[in-house]
Amino acid sequence: MFSEILKITPQIDGKDLNKMEKALQGRFTKIAKGFGKGLANILKGGGIAGVALALIDKLLNPLKEVQEAIDRSLSKGDDLATFAAQFNTSAGQLAKVQAMGEASGLDAEGLRMLLVKFQSSISEAQADPNKDTSVRAFAGREDTLEAFFEFIQSLQKLNKNDQMRVQTEVFGERQILKASEFLNADFKELGKTFSRFDSGQLTKAAERLAGMSDLKDRLGAVRNLDDLQAKSGVINSSMIRAQDQSERLNLQKENARIKSYNDLAKISDSVTIIMGYVEQGLALLGKLIGMLTNFLPTVTGAIDRLMKSPMVRGIKGIFGGSDD
């Protein structure tokens, strides 16, 4: 009995390791076979259609992105041409000033708002020659964008107090806060950044995109009228009744869930509490494993020293044991 107890050591021999390895291999093989069968069943049971749809979606996504890029380009070209006409300037010049605004943290819409405010002040100055206004010197200019650009550069020559007074008068306090960096930008330096872009070429590009945008709008308007007539011949009262029935079923399902709200809330709360205990248990288990891992070398060393001690050797000699 003592001999059997004393032969127990915290080690695993070769036979045990072989057994463990074979057992693990068997389990993993079984899991892999089960996974393979499950995957095959999914594909047989209609999963092929799902995979096909996923592949189609992957193929159509780039097409959708290209379509969105086309729409953005057409919209940008159309906006440039439209607002250039409003400010009696070229689309290319407007595009370059917009780029300067973007480089100074002012988007296209913010720039257009400043231009509209400036144009409004010019109109008021022309309507009332006796009105005291800071834009009087720019009244009567044909190109509003050009006049605006000269105006904001002239403001930079004023002291800060006069700058703020004039900017607030023309643009309003809210607008100058948003456009502060742009209004105080180094336009000579910004001009160098965009010097390689020719205004004439930019105008042609914007007007070409604007023309295609107009074509798209016309075709869309015709398409919508065609679809209006087509839909009127396809949609019937039975479809409307079926739709109503479907909506009623959805409402019944929603009402049933509302009635069960308290029970669902209790289940959710219970799950939350249980998961809290599980997390606490896992944390405690982690600490315990850490403690045992740190303590194991000490225990192993103590057992090893005990096995080699004269006392144990003497006991083995009495009962016929050996050191091996």
Range 135-141 average pLDDT: 89
pLDDT for position 7: 42
Distance CA 311, CA 290 (A): 33
Range 186-200 average pLDDT: 92
Minimum mean pLDDT among 8-22, 62-76, 173-187, 244-258: which range?
8-22
Is 150 within a domain?
yes
Distance CA 169, CA 207 (A): 34
pLDDT > 80? residue 277:
no
Closest CA to 91 of 214, 209, 200, 203: 203
Residue 35 φ/ψ, nearest 5 degrees = -65, -45
pLDDT for position 66: 83
Is 313 within a domain?
no
Alpha carbon separation from 216 to 78, 213, 220, 236 (Å, rounded): 11, 5, 6, 31
Q: How confident is the model at residue 274 (pLDDT cuts 50, 70, 90)?
A: confident
Is 248 within a domain?
no
Distance CA 313, CA 44 (A): 68
Number of domains forming the structure of the chain: 1
pLDDT > 70? residue 22:
no
- Tell me what the pLDDT averaged over the chain comes to: 80
Is 287 within a domain?
no
Minimum mean pLDDT among 5-9, 64-68, 298-302: which range?
5-9
Work out the percent of the chain whose per-residue pLDDT is above 90: 45
Closest CA to 167 of 120, 134, 124, 137: 134
Amino acid at 2: F
Is 139 within a domain?
yes
- In the chain, the largest separation of any two C-alpha atoms, in whole Å, equals 128
Is 107 within a domain?
yes
Is 140 within a domain?
yes
Range 152-177 average pLDDT: 89
Q: How confident is the model at residue 322 (pLDDT cuts 50, 70, 90)?
A: low
Minimum mean pLDDT among 5-19, 114-128, 257-271: which range?
5-19
Minimum mean pLDDT among 5-19, 33-47, 161-175, 205-219: which range?
5-19
pLDDT > 80? residue 86:
yes
Is 232 within a domain?
no
pLDDT for position 292: 62
Range 101-124 average pLDDT: 93
Instruction: Provide the domain limits for residue 183.
Output: 87-197
pLDDT > 80? residue 231:
yes
